Amino acid sequence: MTVLLGLVTLVGTVVGFGIFGAPLIRRAAPAFMRVPRLAVATLMSVMGMWLFAVMAIGPMLAWLVSGPNHFMPGASAQVCQRCLEAASPLQPGAEIDTLIPVVLLLLAPLLLFTIILITGSWLRQRRQNTLRRLSKSLPCDGDRTMVEGHNVLVLPSQSPIAFALPKRRCGIVISPVLLELLNEQELRAVLAHEAAHLRQRHHLILALLHGVIVPLRWIPLISAIADAVPHYLEMAADNAARSEVGTPALASALLKLGEKPKVADHFHGPADALAEAAVTLHAAGADRIRQLVAPTRGRLGVVPAVGILSLAAVLTISSVMVHVPYLQAVLAGCLT
């Protein structure tokens, strides 16, 4: 009965959080915006905890049911049964007979991990291809200069642009129009913003995020996290810039720059939208000015944020209670 209750709790929390976690994340935004770097760490951890819990459903269900295993080759069926009995809290024979092969339940976490790994590797290759195309289209080894203490690439363009690629590629890229448009303090703010992206490894975070979400984007929770994290990364870079230069200069620069342009608008050649989002980080974005000038105060968003952390904790505890017995069984030698 305890195992059945635990399974119902785990499945219910996983499904409920997967569906209703998205509005919770949106309602927690006022609290998260005050601590954007902590928000990114929290949301990435929540995504990992949710996936960890999903991977626990199959192994936990395997404790409750028994099914055919005659199709397994050699002694694999015996090994599988031995590990299952060593991990299960139930007495042998207490399972419910079904037509479900138990091995499929035990291999479900491995299957999900494999799917994420394959799609992540595929996206990584697309990202590298995009970086190579950008490197060929942008003269990364060309007209580099020091501007306000930052080594930047000056890209000929008729628009005021400022963005950052991974440091080993082009790093900070600006246009001559930007230098004409912004005054000294505004320019310092924009460059400090882009330098923060590089210093805080935001490209790596986005690459990791996109590698996980591709096969799971249809899940509301994962979709909400994928949408929220890039915004909080921009706010984290804003905080670094405002601490160095001040809020007025940064807000004024963002207002002049307007909305984020696409890198594809500034060079000739194909650009993949999804991969481009994982490699380019812009200083532009007028939507952040309100948070800079009049940041949220008080306890607004705190309750949803606490709710998110509480649900994530429930998922983590429940899944650990499933995965640990299997790990102990393996370490005890059930595979041999």
DSSP string over 166-195? -TTTT-EEE-HHHHHHS-HHHHHHHHHHHH
Asked if the model's pLDDT at residue 1 lies above 80, the reply is no
Digit-coded pLDDT (tens) for 82-131: 777 777 777 666 566 666 667 777 777 778 778 877 877 777 777 777 76
Tokens at 193, concatenated: 């913003």
Per-residue pLDDT, 277:
46
Digit-coded pLDDT (tens) for 159-202: 888 888 877 777 888 888 888 899 999 999 999 999 999 999 99
Query: Average pLDDT for residues 130-134, to the nearest whole number?
Result: 70
Residues of the chain above pLDDT 90, percent: 26
pTM attached to this predicted model: 0.83
Asked if the model's pLDDT at residue 243 lies above 50, the reply is yes
Give 43's pLDDT tier (boundaries 50, 70, 90). very high
- Name the more confident of 88 and 264: 88
Asked if the model's pLDDT at residue 42 lies above 90, the reply is yes
* Alpha-carbon distance values, 38 to 42, 44, 58, 105, 243 (Å): 6, 10, 32, 35, 17
Residues contacting residue 182 through CB under 8 Å, at least 6 positions apart: 160, 190, 253, 256
Question: Per this entry, what is the length of the chain?
Answer: 336
Distance from C-alpha of 332 to C-alpha of 334, rounded to nearest angstrom: 6
Per-residue pLDDT, 149:
85
Asked if the model's pLDDT at residue 261 lies above 60, the reply is no
Query: Average pLDDT for residues 74-80, to the nearest whole number?
Result: 66
Per-residue pLDDT, 270:
34
Neighbours of 275 (CB within 10 A): 22
Digit-coded pLDDT (tens) for 291-332: 787 777 767 889 999 999 999 999 999 889 888 888 888 788
* Alpha-carbon distance values, 87 to 60, 84, 113, 327 (Å): 10, 5, 21, 8
Per-residue pLDDT, 28:
93
Tokens at 226, concatenated: 């994928």
Tokens at 68, concatenated: 């055919």
Q: Which range has the worst mean pLDDT, 42-51, 128-137, 138-147, 259-268? A: 259-268
| 8 A C-beta contact, residue 154 and residue 174 | yes
* Among 185, 190, 229, CA closest to 207: 229
Neighbours of 14 (CB within 10 A): 22
Digit-coded pLDDT (tens) for 265-278: 444 433 344 344 44
Per-residue pLDDT, 99:
63
Distance from C-alpha of 251 to C-alpha of 255, rounded to nearest angstrom: 6
* Mean pLDDT (the chain, rounded): 80
